[in-house]
Amino acid sequence: MTESKPAVAEAPTNAKMETRNVNVFYGSNQAIKDVDLDIADRSVTALIGPSGCGKSTYLRALNRMNDTIDICRVEGRILLDGEDIYGRGVDPVEVRRRVGMVFQKSNPFPKSVFDNVAFGLRIGGEKDKDVIAQRVEESLRGAALWDEVKDRLQSSALGLSGGQQQRLCIARCLAVWPEVILMDEPASALDPIATAKIEELIRELREQYTIVIVTHSMQQAARVSDSTAFFYMGELIEHDETETMFTRPAKKRTEEYISGRFG
């Protein structure tokens, strides 16, 4: 076990999230084994690895979305600003307001564009119409969608194109002012142009947010991320700066995966 332990880059002092000995089980199946990983503040961390390696499961552990799966159990410590999000008395609802999520398949509510973005604010208790309108605009601008939808804020979000829908989901996530944004293959269902827009957006959002992105595309990881973590069979094999990972990976398996020899 110990020699397969990842060569974790010595804990950066600016870690926004730290995970220590994280194990995730589905029933008696162990999906994640002993993962130690630090996620640097205001940076993009990419999680790569073959299908079924546990990267999405790990991602969903970071905002307690796994809580909604009945048979799922998380062990170990996941710290957000030094505080265990699985600690006693921590409200998962509060965690999810701070750690937002964008899903693989864009999932706008069957409501208007405006109401989609305003949803998080309204359930958070915001009543002031001006504040809501301002935050909606700000979030749509933040997601580089404002110019495309400013004249159709009241029409159904389901009428937007796939790429627009995904950016709407990002805007919806930004509206509640999260600190961390988790993205689960956010561009895998999109065409190359829409993908490029999402990637550009991710690079911009890095200035203000801590982003963790799961991706199947090596190129995407190389393009958008600052550091990359390679998962294999539920274990974290290697985590380093993206450039290092893609040019001089420390582990043979990483090299094999990145060069496309398996996976």
Partner 1 sequence: MRYTKKDWLLAGLTGLSLAVILLLLAVLLGQIVWHGAPVISAEFLTEKPGPDMISGGIWPAIYGTVLMTLLMTLAGVPVGIATAIFLNEYASPRSRLAKLVRIAVNNLAGVPSIVFGLFGLGFFIIFVGGSMDALLYDDSAPVWGKPSILWASLTLAVLTLPVVIVTTEEALRTVPSDIRDASLALGATRFQTVYKIVLPNAKGGILTGVILAVSRGAGEVAPIIFCGAANFLPYLPTDLRDMFMHLGYHVYALATQSPNVDAARPTLFGTVLVLLMLTFSLNLLAVIIRSRSRAALRP
Which residues sit at the interface with partner 1, rule CB under 8 A?
63, 65, 68, 70-71, 93-94, 96-97, 100-101, 103, 105, 107-110, 119-120, 123-124, 156, 158-159, 169, 172-173, 176
Tell me the closest approach of the beta carbon of residue 228 to partner 1, in angstroms. 24
* Closer Cβ to partner 1, 110 or 192, answer by number: 110
Tell me the closest approach of the beta carbon of residue 152 to partner 1, in angstroms. 11
* Closer Cβ to partner 1, 56 or 242, answer by number: 56
CB 200 within 8 A of CB 190: no
Interhelix angle for 162-174 vs 192-205, to 10°? 20
* Closer Cβ to partner 1, 52 or 159, answer by number: 159
* Closer Cβ to partner 1, 25 or 250, answer by number: 25
Tell me the closest approach of the beta carbon of residue 144 to partner 1, in angstroms. 20
* Closer Cβ to partner 1, 65 or 236, answer by number: 65
SS3 63: coil
CB 152 within 8 A of CB 183: no
List beta partners, residue 120: none
Tell me the closest approach of the beta carbon of residue 94 to partner 1, in angstroms. 7
* Closer Cβ to partner 1, 19 or 116, answer by number: 116
* Closer Cβ to partner 1, 70 or 207, answer by number: 70
Three-state SS string over 185-243 comes to CCCCCCCHHHHHHHHHHHHHHCCCCEEEEECCCHHHHHHHCCEEEEEECCEEEEEEEHH
Tell me the closest approach of the beta carbon of residue 98 to partner 1, in angstroms. 8
Per the listing, tokens 């020699």 go with 3
* Closer Cβ to partner 1, 52 or 124, answer by number: 124
CB 190 within 8 A of CB 163: yes
Side by side, which strands form the sheet with 29-40? 29-40, 15-26, 72-80, 83-84
Tell me the closest approach of the beta carbon of residue 63 to partner 1, in angstroms. 7
Structure tokens at 25: 């089980």
Tell me the closest approach of the beta carbon of residue 35 to partner 1, in angstroms. 21
How many helices and strands, by DSSP H and E, does the chain display? 10, 10
Q: What angle do CA 121, 123, 125 make, to 5 degrees?
A: 75
Tell me the closest approach of the beta carbon of residue 120 to partner 1, in angstroms. 4
Structure tokens at 54: 């546990």
- The rounded distance, in Å, linking the Cα atoms of 22 and 37 is 9
